[in-house]
Amino acid sequence: MKFIKIALSIATLSALLGCQQNENTPQTDKTKSTTTQSTLSNTPAQNSDPNHQPDIAKALQDNLNKSGIDVHVTSVVPTQMPQMYWATIDGASPVFVDKTGSYIIDGTIVELGGERPVDIAVKIRSTAAKTALTNVDDSQMIIFPAKGETKAVIYAFTDPTCGYCQKLHEEISDINAGGIEVRYLAWPRGDKPLPLAEAIWCSPDRKDALTRAKKGESINAPACDNPVKTHVALGYSLGVTGTPAIFAENGVQLGGYLPSNELIKSAIANKN
């Protein structure tokens, strides 16, 4: 019952925030996932980041609890906009929050006055994503290495039942031949594809299992300790709302499906 309660709470928060992929981004399948870690608590996390604002985190956590939203605030840091903060929440996408922790801001905040308008969330998201993805152990991902020189690495949150994920994987040989290493993380878009994702990650040959699953084949494997739900929670924390969700080495989210030639160029351009 606790899992169901948390899933409903996350769905409630997502609804409040209008949590959807931007229609102008590359293509993704946008089915909401209710799969997440069941270890969330009602107190904000301890955080070693010197920019972390514990008082605002506690206020935000208290207000979420009062509103019956059972999610866990992990970090609140300042943005370049005065009195505006960036909150990271387990089981939901990051959001802007005011200094009282009473208001969640849904949407884009743009800084003006420079050569071009700047979405202030981009740098925050990419920095967090770069750190988080770099910290994922190689053994927890399904890696398709580059052929020849590795020119760049991409991370792709994937659901084997997602049409655009299948289309991306059909081009994996071309992507690898272009010098791009592809590191897959699991992001089943709900409870129904969860067992398939877990079976893939529990298979003795994960690469083969993933490839066969994306062709529509059934995958059977004994249950094992696997990182699938951890990957889902990580995806939420990085703002993933659909699959494929592709990140470059520098943490920039390249978007959803891109043709292999465009993906190769974008991955190399965002290597550092």
Q: Residues 70, 90, 125, 162: which is the catalytic one? A: 162
CATH number for position 260: 3.40.30.10
pLDDT attached to residue 200: 98
The answer on 159 and 111 residing in a single domain is: no
The answer on 262 and 146 residing in a single domain is: yes
DSSP state letters, 111-165: E-SSSS-EETHHHHHHHHHHHHHHTS-GGGSEEEPPSSS--EEEEEEE-TT-HHH
The answer on 154 and 254 residing in a single domain is: yes
Q: Residues 19, 90, 159, 202: which is the catalytic one? A: 159
The mean pLDDT of the chain is 85
Residue 130 lies in a domain: no
pLDDT tens figures, 59-104: 999 999 999 888 899 999 999 999 999 998 886 778 999 999 999 9
106 is catalytic: no
- Global pTM reads 0.76
CATH number for position 63: 3.10.450.70
Host H or E run for residue 175: helix 172-177
62 is catalytic: no
What is the domain range of residue 234?
Answer: 138-269
Percent of the chain with pLDDT over 70: 83
The average pLDDT across 240-250 equals 94
Which among 204, 84, 183 has a CA at the least distance from the CA of 136? 183
The answer on 146 and 265 residing in a single domain is: yes
162 is catalytic: yes
189 is catalytic: yes
pLDDT tens figures, 106-126: 788 898 998 889 888 888 889
Q: Residues 19, 70, 165, 183: which is the catalytic one? A: 165
Residue 147 lies in a domain: yes
Q: Residues 189, 202, 205, 208: which is the catalytic one? A: 189
